Amino acid sequence: MNYEPARSRGSPDVAANALMQQERRTGAIRIANVLKIYGSEAAGVRAVDDCTFDVPAGKITVVVGPSGCGKTTLLNAIAGFHSISSGTIHLDDSLLCGPGRLKADPGPDRIVVFQNGSLFPWKTIVENVAFGPIVQGRLTRKTAIEKARFMLAESGLHNLESNYPGEISSGMRRRVEIARALMNDPKVLLLDEPYRALDSLTKSVMHEALLETFDRNQVTIFFITHDLEEAIFLGHRVVIMTTRPCRPKKIVSVDIPHPRDYSVLTAKRFREYLDETVEAVHQEALKAFDAGERER
Amino acid sequence: MATIGAFTQRAAQLLVSVKFWRGTIAVVAFILVWEIASRTGLSQVPAPSGVVFTFNDLMRDPSYWFSWYLSVRRVFLGFLAAMLLGIPLGLGMAVSRTFSGIVFPVFEVLRPIPPLAWVPAAIIFWPTQELSIMFVTFLGAFYTVVINVIGGAQTIDVRYYQAARSMGSSGWDIFRRIILPATIPSIVVGATVGIGIAWAVVVAAEMISGGGSAGSMGGAKGGGLGFFIWNSYVGGSYTQIVVGMISIGIAGYISSALLRKLGELVTPWLRDQ
Amino acid sequence: MKDLQSAFAGDVNVGLAPASSPAVSATERAGRLESIGFRLAQWLRSPRPYLMLVGFALFLGFWYLTVEVWKLPRFSQMPGPTAVITEWLSPDPTYGLSIYSPEYYEHIWVSWRRVSIALLLATATGVPLGLFLGWSQRFKDYVFPVFELLRPIPPLAWVPLAIIMFAGSETPIVFLTFLASFYATTLNTMLGVESIDVSFVRAAYCLGAKRRQVFWHVIVPGAMPFIFTGLQISVGVAWFSLVAGEMVSGQYGLGYLINTSYTMVQYPTMVIGMITLGIVGYLTSAGVRMLGNYLMQWRARELAIGAEK
């Protein structure tokens, strides 16, 4: 099967970027024996039980599982919104959460892109994107806005600058949110089913945009979805979770080279990976349905 | 579950919760500050200790309870009229554009005039003072009920109509089975807010109109709670003023709580939310 | 909640947004004027303005017939529309009050001044209080019970106590008006903070904001729509309480005017007072609404487009 590499983008300092990409060895997450119980030990809900897997640096890891299985709990624990009950999560060499410190602090090294979008509706697009560096004091307002405009232009979104999030389409909003995150040079990008609410046509465009962004930045991506095809299309690594309490059921390395584009979807290798994994996902889906998981 | 066991369990949970103790400390502190301010003459407000004693005395005074009866009657009847007139009017406006086009502008023009501004006009118009006080109370609740009914009917998802029509429902059916039930939560909200307004209005109406002819039966304390407060002021018994205020607060709170409970009973489908 | 809120926010007249907002160009302004004209023409073509006329005609007709023509038993004691209007517009009014008499405007000014001071105080105290109540659970645990304990007491029940507590005749009235607005503003602000989607707060923390920055950049702007809804409610409530206060005590003001004209049997003046109250009350509400639409351009545009999530 043949596919064309995605169109390359000429950014001002290509050489420097390339160097940075080769050196990107940070942003690896190690999840070890994580347990999360909501409520008491006896009567509570086990969302995550003895969950262990790795998220390699500079790669896209996609977690697939039925709704309500606990994958968002994992993401929230990494991001620092929730605590864990036991186990450890490491980011590179430092401990995010573990014994003695069950909840991480949220921070700009792990930025979340939310399911229903969380661009601040009361700020314009460019103000949103510039928010991180301004608020951290890393850049002056003027410089931050300039950089923000540059980043938006890179993604082809510059004519939306002065609009408010309420005025543009959800697809655009997702892309702006990713730009807002990348402004801060995070080690990890945490995406919580970001394209769930979009129709499949917009979704496919979003996927390509995400891959393009990844090519430019090589940031570690931790992506949650319930859509298996999306997972295989995007990911270097696909982790299939069981229903609640969640735990990795099957881990697959997707060996289709990046950069990828939509022609991958009909490639033979893609179908083979789908074959390997669809049974596992379907089993868990049935179990979840029987258990009557409510959509959150 | 409304069992005694569940109740004591919840009570026990409440007693150990931090929230409860913080709130209690604040309330106790408030009362203490009040007491000290009154005793030292910092404020002219009568002290809580005096208020408690007066309350005790008043509880045995039948004319005090007669005031309660009068005020409750006025609020209740005015409120009932507001519901009986307001709900159909609101529904009518929500259902028929023509009707709404005719009635709503007049309604909106009259609404900014505060109900209490109608007191003198009501006294002129209605044969008895009781009726005029009830009229003003009615006005207070009426506007709120209508606005809430209209709002509730407007937010009904158009897909419910489409689903019903595709299953062959007639206009009357749609009204009875979709519009009416869907509007009930808003009616409840309108009622709960409306009765609060009715209490606020009755107090002032009684103060302004001097207790009414029925009030003269009850004597100085028996003209209704608002009249009671005003009379206590005129007569110089300041502690009674505070008792009156607290009484009205309690009365208003109980009526709203009752209505809310009633509302929950009538809307079982909202319980899990 | 969102639908009720947009219902309160009223019709968004994008065309009324002033031209000084940053994102509006000259061509946009011209376009807006055109769209106002278009919408006006559309409105005139619909049955709505004519139904409105029918409604008013019915109302005024009813009033006129029952009071002045048929002279029905209870109705005949009321002043009729012609009596009221001739009095209101006459340069030499029988009872001394019309649009030509300076006293009329004095009353309006006094009432309006009291409401404005009370509103300002209520907003200055209520908004910060509401923001903190919504933001800090600890603060709420301490303060909210006391607040809720006092709230069921209708502001109007405070009249005698207010007269005792405060010297003079102005302060008690302003205090009453303040109380009513204060409760409404605080509650709505608190509700506003609590309704902010937690994702916004989390996103801000992710992006490196500290607690104080989250408060200023997320909580305050996020609660604004609710704060303005609260303000609209509190304006209505303010007039409500003001009138009662003025009727019971004090000099000057529209409430005082209504009460006095009643006791002096100058009924047309009484009705003039009532109508004026209605007009002024409506204008202040509309003013607050327009201010809200201006300050929250982002919301106005969002509502106008009917944005999808």
Q: How close does chain C come to B165, measured CA to CA in Å?
A: 24
Task: Supply A139's token pair.
Answer: 């850049």
Task: Please write the tens of the pLDDT for every residue from A106-142.
Answer: 888 899 998 888 999 999 999 999 999 999 988 899 9
* Helices of type H across chain C: 2-9, 26-45, 48-64, 81-89, 102-135, 137-150, 159-165, 170-195, 198-206, 211-214, 220-248, 254-263, 267-295, 297-305
Render C96-111 in DSSP notation, one character per residue.
Answer: S-STTSHHHHHHHHHH
Contacts of A131 in chain C (CB under 8 A): 204, 207, 209, 217
Cα(C299)–Cα(A51) distance, integer angstroms: 43
Q: How far is CA C177 from the centre of its chain?
A: 12
| Whole-number Å distance between alpha carbons of A10 and B241 | 80
Strand order in the sheet with A86-91: A45-55, A29-38, A86-91, A94-97
Picking from A81, A132, A164, the nearest residue to C207 by CB comes out as A132
Tokens of A91: 């980011």
The ipTM value here is 0.83
Q: Tell me the count of A-C CB pairs closer than 8 A.
A: 94
Contact at 8 Å (CB) between A122 and A167?
no
The pTM of this model reads 0.79
Greatest mean pLDDT among A128-142, A197-211, B207-221:
A128-142
Query: In terms of Cα–Cα distance, which of B118, B242, B245, B262 is closest to B195?
Result: B262
What per-residue confidence (pLDDT) applies to A293?
53
Q: What percent of chain B clears pLDDT 70, i.e. is strictly above it?
A: 92
Give the residue from A251, A222, A264, A175 showing the smallest Cα distance to A79. A222
* Cα(C245)–Cα(C173) distance, integer angstroms: 5
Domain extent listing, chain B = 1-45, 50-270
Mutate to test the interface with A, among C207, C297, C298 (most CBs of A within 10 A): C207
> What CATH number does the domain containing C220 carry?
1.10.3720.10
Contact B116 C248 (CB under 8 A): no
Which subunits sit against A, judged by 3+ Cβ pairs under 8 A? C
Q: Which CATH superfamily is domain A14-109+186-290 in?
A: P-loop containing nucleotide triphosphate hydrolases (3.40.50.300)
In tens digits, chain C (309 residues) has pLDDT values of 333 333 333 333 333 333 334 445 666 666 677 777 887 887 777 777 888 888 888 998 888 888 878 777 777 778 888 888 888 888 877 777 778 888 888 989 999 999 999 999 999 999 999 999 999 988 998 899 888 888 888 888 888 888 888 878 788 889 999 998 999 899 989 988 988 889 999 999 999 999 999 999 999 999 988 888 888 888 888 998 898 888 877 788 888 888 888 888 888 888 888 989 888 988 888 888 888 878 777 766 666 665 443
Smallest CA–CA distance from C201 into chain A, residue: A118
Can you give the residue range of the structural domain that contains C275?
102-305
In sequence order, the 6+-apart residues with CB closer than 8 A to the CB of C182 are: C121, C122, C125, C126, C234
Chains C and A touch (3+ CB pairs under 8 A): yes
Total tally of structural domains belonging to chain C: 1
Calculate the CA A291 to chain-centre distance. Answer: 27
User: Does C166 map to a domain?
Assistant: yes
Stretch(es) of chain A classified as CATH 3.40.50.300: 14-109+186-290
Q: Are C238 and C181 in contact (CB under 8 A)?
A: yes
Interatomic CA distance for residues A155 and A157, integer angstroms: 6
Instruction: Give counts: helices (H), strands (E), chain A.
Output: 8, 10
Architecture of domain B50-270: Orthogonal Bundle (1.10)
Let me know if residue C19 belongs to a domain.
Answer: no
When scoring A96, A120, A195 by the number of chain C Cβ atoms within 10 A, the one with the most, hence best to mutate, is: A120
Q: Which helix (H) or strand (E) holds A112?
A: strand A110-113
- For B1-26, the pLDDT digits (tens) are 456 666 777 777 777 777 788 888 88
Of C23, C213, C299, the CB nearest to A162: C23
Interface test with B, best of C129, C156, C274, C289 (most B CBs within 10 A): C156
Q: CB atoms < 10 A from the CB of B109, how many?
A: 17
What tokens were used for B241?
């003023």
Residue C255 is assigned to a structural domain of this protein: yes
pLDDT tens for A56-99 read 888 899 999 887 778 888 899 999 898 888 888 888 888 888 88
Residue B112 to residue C285, Cβ atoms within 8 A: yes
In angstroms, the separation between the Cα of residue A3 and the nearest Cα of chain C is: 34
Q: What is the pLDDT of residue B3?
A: 63
- The span from the CA of B256 to the CA of B196, in Å, is 7
pLDDT for residue C8? 33
Residue A287 has pLDDT above 70, yes or no: yes
Q: Is residue C240 part of a domain?
A: yes
Residue A90 DSSP SS3: strand
Contact A273, A260 (CB under 8 A): no
Confidence band for B219, pLDDT divided at 50, 70 and 90? low
